[in-house]
Structure 1
Amino acid sequence: MLTTKRWCSILLIVLTLWAGAAWGETLDRIVAVVNGDVILYSELQEKVRQVEKISPESKPADATLQPQFERQVLNQIIQERLTEQEVRRMKIAVSDREVDAAVDSLKRENNFTDAQFEYVVQQGGQTIEQFRSGIKKELERSRLLERVLKSKTVITDEQVDAYLKNAKTDEGNTKERLRLSIIFLPTSEGAQGKDADDVEKLAREIHRRLKGGGDFAKLAKEYSKGPAPEEGGDIGYIAAEELAPDIASAVRGLNANDVSEVVKAPAGYYIVKVVDVQREKLDSGDSSARDKARRALFQREMSRKFEEWIKELEARSFIQVSL
């Protein structure tokens, strides 16, 4: 027979396991079911962190609006899940070679060196692997829509001309390109407290040394974890509109050889030196400008078609939300 003490021990174990299971369920529960596919709260939180990292301005300043923001992100996950299901159902495949070609095309359109490309991706809060994954999904979505709609999206020369004409009106007749050198100090994912403080202190110490006449290239080689550290952080010329808002704001108005203040970004801290400034007239006949305009118009049209298609798909799918 079990003694009273033994019964109490068993009861304590059972209660402990039940409490642990209940606590785990609270932390990670089902927030949506999409045609039988489950979306967990942990997946939602990871996506929220990604969105906030790539677009810090999207995070609600008012904490009471956070549930609404989470619901918007959940809707995005649901649409991604529906798209993935259709890609699998229709057996659409995109190879690594095709992703390579798309990335190379993007570099050519923007005249990016490898260091410039790494910098642009990094300042957007992504790794190269995450960026490539996004390109792959973009290609899959394009092929999916072409197959579903049974038509290709064609951008005419007239549309490109109109786009470039509007760009001239909006930006003036000149384009500014900056030759930049970068010192980047990353913070680890979710870093806070002492770890984040230590990185910020180092960034401000480096900045103090630069203001005191320190050699930017030497300090970049010693400390930078960003692109081209062996070249002193020099990433070459980059168009002003390709800069992240925080970086663009930090270098606005700076002259050649000026150094920015310390810039806090989602992935870490930047110090930027303006090596040179070039201003050139916009030329609507320039092939790279036209390629870039054509891609922008293509993306705009694909987004419009996708919004129409995904609403129809949602209407005929089984979606249960419990957030």
Structure 2
Amino acid sequence: MAVRLTRVVLLCAVMSATLGFRQPLGPGDLLDRILAVVEGQVIMLSDVRAFLELRLIERPDASDPTALVLTALVERQLILDEVARYVVDEPSTAELDARLALVVARIGGPDAFEQVLQVVGFTADDLRQVLREDLRIERYLARRFPSARQPTEDEVAAYFLEHIEEFQTDGVPQSFEVARDDAQRRLSAQLRQELIDDWTAGLSRRADVFLVTP
């Protein structure tokens, strides 16, 4: 999602152990520092690391993913602020357990999961809180943006041609007739995401978002 930060303030780096890594530091390393303040909510460098190491966010294709992940966390906080203004059903214990199981599986099993928790300074309860927030965001967005407009037949055909390499069966390209319904679903999802991105950009323009530089 694109984000437009409304204010950029240069501040000195801040050391903090609140959510920092619990691993030996090299010379000159900072335990932690503030990267952004979003409507009074602080986002730390350790938050970025935790989301990456716990695979709560797709790792960007960049040599240093920090800035891109920070943008995603800024947007996440802005959406959470919106969620807090409305009544959104709490996820059930079963839903949280299922989401947690997916995280454990992505990381490589219980042992690897426990190691990553120690590295990023999270407890299992910390992670469950993050997953709870994610589920509430999903419910809010599903209610606010239940669907996008239905794409026209020409738009679906154009999408199919632009992504034709994605529509294959055992390595053999599918015909449009075979792939049409799948192409329509994907295009509809893309149009819905564009609506969400535009809405999120509007939140960013109206918000007090401070970036902190070293």
TM range (shorter): 0.5 to 0.7
* C-alpha separation in 2, matches of 1:298 and 1:132: 27
Indicate yes or no: 2:192 matched with 1:302.
yes
* Match in the other structure for 2:26: none
* C-alpha separation in 2, matches of 1:168 and 1:306: 22
Structure 2 alignment gaps of length 5 or more = 1-14, 19-29, 114-127
**Distance apart, 1:139 and its partner CA:** 4.1
Q: What TM-score, normalized by structure 1, do the two folds share?
A: 0.39
Which of the numbers 71, 75, 78 marks the counterpart of 1:75? 71
Q: Deviations over 1:27-72 (max 9, x none)?
A: 13332211121212211221233569844x7241xxxxx3xx3122
Indicate yes or no: 2:145 matched with 1:141.
no
Instruction: Report 1:282-301 matches (<5 A).
Output: 282=175, 284=177, 290=181, 292-301=182-191
* C-alpha separation in 1, matches of 2:107 and 2:159: 25
CA gap of 1:301–1:132, structure 2 versus 1, over 3 A, is farther
* Match in the other structure for 2:148: 153
* Match in the other structure for 2:206: 316
CA gap of 1:123–1:300, structure 2 versus 1, over 3 A, is same
Task: Provide the secondary structure at the position in 1 that maps to 2:177.
Answer: coil
CA gap of 1:307–1:49, structure 2 versus 1, over 3 A, is same
Greater percentage in strand: 1
* C-alpha separation in 1, matches of 2:108 and 2:189: 21
Asked if structure 2 preserves the Cα contact closer than 8 Å seen for 1:32 and 1:321, the reply is: yes
Asked if structure 2 preserves the Cα contact closer than 8 Å seen for 1:54 and 1:124, the reply is: no
Structure 1 alignment gaps of length 5 or more = 1-21, 61-65, 104-117, 147-151, 177-239, 241-278
CA gap of 1:90–1:96, structure 2 versus 1, over 3 A, is same
CA gap of 1:168–1:53, structure 2 versus 1, over 3 A, is closer
Which of the numbers 27, 31, 49 marks the counterpart of 2:53? 49
* C-alpha separation in 1, matches of 2:206 and 2:54: 29
CA gap of 1:81–1:154, structure 2 versus 1, over 3 A, is same
Asked if structure 2 preserves the Cα contact closer than 8 Å seen for 1:92 and 1:143, the reply is: no
Which of the numbers 27, 35, 38 marks the counterpart of 1:31? 35
Task: Report % sequence identity.
Answer: 19
* Match in the other structure for 1:92: 88
Q: Deviations over 1:159-199 (max 9, x none)?
A: 68526752785467x511xxxxxxxxxxxxxxxxxxxxxxx
Q: What TM-score, normalized by structure 2, do the two folds share?
A: 0.54
* Match in the other structure for 1:252: none
CA gap of 1:82–1:158, structure 2 versus 1, over 3 A, is same
Task: Provide the secondary structure at the position in 2 that maps to 1:153.
Answer: coil
Counterpart residue identity of residue 58, structure 1: D
CA gap of 1:171–1:309, structure 2 versus 1, over 3 A, is closer
* C-alpha separation in 2, matches of 1:78 and 1:59: 18
**Distance apart, 1:300 and its partner CA:** 0.8
Instruction: Report 1:117-196 matches (<5 A).
Output: 137-145=137-145, 152-156=147-151, 158=153, 161-162=156-157, 165-166=160-161, 169-170=164-165, 175-176=169-170
Asked if structure 2 preserves the Cα contact closer than 8 Å seen for 1:31 and 1:322, the reply is: yes
Counterpart residue identity of residue 169, structure 2: K
**Distance apart, 1:294 and its partner CA:** 3.6
Q: Deviations over 1:238-272 (max 9, x none)?
A: xx7xxxxxxxxxxxxxxxxxxxxxxxxxxxxxxxx
**Distance apart, 1:78 and its partner CA:** 0.3
Q: Which has the larger radius of gyration?
A: 1
Q: Deviations over 1:210-253 (max 9, x none)?
A: xxxxxxxxxxxxxxxxxxxxxxxxxxxxxx7xxxxxxxxxxxxx
* C-alpha separation in 1, matches of 2:136 and 2:211: 28
Task: Provide the secondary structure at the position in 2 that maps to 1:32.
Answer: strand
Task: Provide the secondary structure at the position in 1 that maps to 2:50.
Answer: helix
* Larger relative contact order (CA 8 Å, sep ≥ 6): 2
Q: May I ask how many residue pairs the two structures share in their alignment?
A: 165
CA gap of 1:44–1:123, structure 2 versus 1, over 3 A, is closer
